[in-house]
Homo-oligomer: A and B are copies of this chain.
Amino acid sequence: VSDTALIALDWGTTSARAYRLDATGAVKGVRNAPLGILQVPNGDFAAALDTLLGDWRDETAPRLASGMIGSRQGWVEAPYCDTPVASAGLAAGIVDVPGARLSIVPGVRTRDAAGTPDVMRGEETQILGAIDPARPLAFAVLPGTHSKWARVEHGRLAAFSTFMTGETYAALLDHTILGRLATHDTGDAQDADAFRRGLDRGLASARDGGALLHDAFGARTLALFGELAQSGVADWLSGLLIGHEIAAAQRMSPDMRDVMVIGSEALARRYVDACTHAGLAAAAAPPDAAARGLWRLARAA
């Protein structure tokens, strides 16, 4: 007799992950596949799900997925919930895939102070899994291609803001003059000093009103005059952008004192250090926040 109570799926754009949870919500197994929604051959999501699950496909437990699988480009669209939204609201928006044993959590939409819409899909589930719902006020950041900063009030996702930090970093480094003098960075900080210098520059500049389009040019001129090693250009630029991001998030939420960093180990460590340096109490979330969030949503549903 299987002890599986839930198959939880974190199904994004480039990869998919499945968790097997027992009746206490404990993760009993994890499976990964390079089957993000843009990687699924012929859009055959049913076959991709079978591949990802392997012999778990015979489990009779419910299956619940979050992430881009619920977008218009995914299997079935799960329409956005608007902020503020709590677990109950998200659970009420869960959509069943016709003809398949799978349900999908909706994404969330908000509007910033200027009225511009903002969206997330999958991060809402990780946030709910990482933040203690008993806390009156908490903040989370999910760093990456599109970093998300979220405000959570009593377990309710109140507001959030996307920053294109990771994607802008890659575009500037690979497709502008800034990469010309950079010797390449493979992801992890190779030059902690350069990162810190860029971070300080970004924080100070953004707090003084900010001029990212000007500041970024420093990655070239500092290297041009030998004031920054070419091996440090990429890390300096990363620090600069992250500094601008953190300072802007702090300005948007002046009552933010601490933040939970949800992400892969190396990137989470970089953000914990950077947030701490910026004056926030920062901690990395335990792994498998998505599995815990899906467990909470399955119970709320």
Contact residue range for chain A?
A: 35 or more
| B117 near A205: Cβ-Cβ < 8 Å | no
> Copies per complex?
2
- Knowing A117-B227, A119-B224, A176-B171, say if A161 contacts B248 (CB, 8 Å): no
CB distance from A107 to the nearest CB of B (A): 11
- Looking at A18-26, A84-92, A209-217, A291-299, the stretch in contact with chain B turns out to be A209-217
- Looking at A129-137, A162-170, A262-270, the stretch in contact with chain B turns out to be A162-170
- Interface positions, chain A 197-232, Cβ under 8 Å from B, are 201, 204-206, 209-218, 221-222, 224-225, 227
CB distance from A297 to the nearest CB of B (A): 24
Asked whether A186 is an interface residue with its Cβ less than 8 Å from the other chain, the reply is no
| B177 near A167: Cβ-Cβ < 8 Å | yes
| B205 near A114: Cβ-Cβ < 8 Å | yes
| B248 near A213: Cβ-Cβ < 8 Å | yes
CB distance from A180 to the nearest CB of B (A): 10
| Chain B residue at minimum C-beta to C-beta distance from A110 | B221
Asked whether A175 is an interface residue with its Cβ less than 8 Å from the other chain, the reply is yes
Name A residues whose Cβ lies closer than 8 Å to a Cβ of B: 112, 114, 116-119, 146, 161-165, 167-168, 170-172, 174-178, 201, 204-206, 209-218, 221-222, 224-225, 227, 241, 244-245, 248, 251-252
